[in-house]
Structures are given as C-alpha cells and as structure tokens.
Amino acid sequence: LSSRFPFYYEVKVAFVLWLLSPHTRGATLLYRRLLHPALARREKDIDAFLLRARERGYQTVLRFGRRGLNLAATAAVQAATKSQGALAGRLRSFSVQDLRSLPDQ
C-alpha cells in the first residue's frame, strides 16, 4: 500500500495526531460531521437490531441452559443407577452371618 501512495505512513501519523490533538479536536469534528448524522438516520434500524440480538441471546442462553440441565439430570440418574446396581451386587456378596457381624452404628 505504501508503494502506491508516497508518504503513506507520514500522512497516517499526521491524521492520527490530528484526531488526538485537543487543539484541533479532530475526533470531535469527524464524529459530529460524519458519524453522528449517519447513526441518527439509522437509529431505529440499530435499535431494532439490538433488540433482536438481545432476544436471540436470551433464547440461546435458555436453550443451552435446558440442555445442560437435561445432561446433568441424565448423568445423575445414570450414576445413581450404576451405583445402586454396584451396591446391590456388593450386598448380595455378603452372607447373613457377615451382615450380623458388622458393628451397629
């Protein structure tokens, strides 16, 4: 890009200094003359877009929250089922005499 435009970097630095300088107030001037009128013309469209984005974000959080809760509930039920089966198998391995010899707590 700098080969096509002589003094490209120098002009770029001068532009940034103009934007930042409190004496020229370039950024304020640029905002008030160009950016603010463009944003003001499109304000309703921007507000509608932000509202749709917020609603979609809310729906997405709800959808992922439901999925997460369903996965957690399924994992808890599976873990409980597996541990119950292991506990029952462990208890079956004891004889009645073994169970009587356990200290009462």
What is the per-residue pLDDT across 58-105, written as a single tens digit (0 to 9) for each?
999 999 888 888 888 888 887 777 776 665 666 566 566 655 666 665
Q: What is the pLDDT of residue 86?
A: 63
CA-angle at 97, arms to 96 and 101, nearest 5°: 115
* Tokens of residue 92, six digits: 């079956």
- Pure H helices in 1-105: 8-20, 26-30, 36-41, 43-93, 96-100
Alpha-carbon gap, residue 51 to 45, rounded angstroms: 10
15-60 pLDDT, tens digit per residue, is 999 999 999 999 999 999 999 999 999 999 999 999 999 999 999 9
Any idea where the domains of the chain sit in the sequence? 42-99
As a whole number of Å, the end-to-end CA separation of the chain is 83
What pTM does this model have? 0.47
pLDDT at 79: 78
d(CA 30, CA 23): 14
